Every structure is written in structure tokens, then in C-alpha cells.
A and B are shown apart, each in its own frame.
Chain A
């Protein structure tokens, strides 16, 4: 079946521009997560959505970062006024339910380069 998909796969943008990254989770998965992986660093949690509950935004690095999840399915991560340190691979994952025993399935990621 279809896995988690992300678009675009690659994005090059100029410093100061806004970007939107899209994630399509596996159908029926109620939980959705955003992570980023910077060059030479580990994966960093950004934000988590579970059903209609308020998202857990505790990992967002600054107020330039925001995310939405419309209709409990597709999610968009928006980075405003991009900076060079925002360059990273942004990964989305989904699962049936948060925490506990449920596996997270990852998308292929969006590689963002800010010039």
C-alpha cells in the first residue's frame, strides 16, 4: 500500500523567502510527526499532531516555523523568512496512535537548501 509521501523532494530557496513543505500520511493514521535532520546531526523532533487535539509544538526551533494539519490528514510545514541554518532534510512520519506501541512510518523527506 501507499506509504508516507512528501513533496517536494528537493527545495532550493533564497534566504528570507518563505517555504511550504507537504506531507501526506498513510491513510487512516491519526498521528503525524515532523522531524528535521541537519547535516552531521541527529534527527530532531519538531511538532506532533494527534487527531483533533492541539498539536505538540515543543520542538519548533523558532516562531518562523509553523505547521498545520487539515482535515486530520495532509500536513504542511511552513518556514518563514528562511535562514541558512534552516537547511536540512525535513522528515514526516505517521502512526496509528501516538506514543505507546505504534510504529512510526517515515516519508522520504524534503531536502531544503537555503542559499
Chain B
């Protein structure tokens, strides 16, 4: 059974810092891995999708990496801003569904 773990559960940093969020999964037989952002009371916003054949994806200040063999992914956020404050969710697609981690709650202090 696929288990997805995200560390840390919560993170607070001052504005301007670079930071890394971690995601690990137990079954490397995945189709893709997706990072989402969830703001309080809102739905999910897709940030980056990494296909199983890819190693990383970049979008603006965000960079996500994927190491299938070790079952790990990282989301790197450069030059963090208060507007980045949200919960970040990692999800893997083993089959028809997606398995989600519990998320990392990020707070960027001005």
C-alpha cells in the first residue's frame, strides 16, 4: 500500500529565505508526482507535475525534484515571500487515484 509522508509538518521562516519541503513515498511504481498548494478554506492549486520519467520541474521560484528509486521528492522555494504561506501537499499517482501526504504548513513571516 502506497504511503506518502511529508516532513516537516509545519515550517516558519523569515521572508527572503530559501527553503526545502520533503516528500517520501513507499512504492516507486508511480506514474507521476504532483505538488499542490492549499490556502485555508480553498481548494487545491497545482504547482508542479513531475512525470515518472523526469527528474525535476521548475516554475518561477519553485523547483521540484523526483528520485523514484529512493522514493523521494523535494520542493524548493527560492526567496520566500509572505504570499507563499499555505499548506503544500505532495501526491503520487500509482494507478487511477492519487495518494496524498498530510502536507507541510508553511508560514513566511514579513
Contacts and interface: CB of A to CB of B under 8 A. Distances in A.
A104 B98 contact: yes
Q: At the interface, is chain B mostly helix, strand, loop or mixed?
A: strand
Interface residues on B, range: 20 to 34
Interface string B28-63: 000110101000001111100101000000000000
Contacts, number: 60
A101 B31 CA distance: 7
B103 A106 contact: no
Contacts of A71: none
Interface of A: 31, 33, 35, 41-45, 48, 50, 56, 58-59, 91, 93, 98-101, 103-109
Nearest to A58: B97
B102 interface: yes
Given A43-B89, A106-B43, A108-B43, A99 B102 contact: no
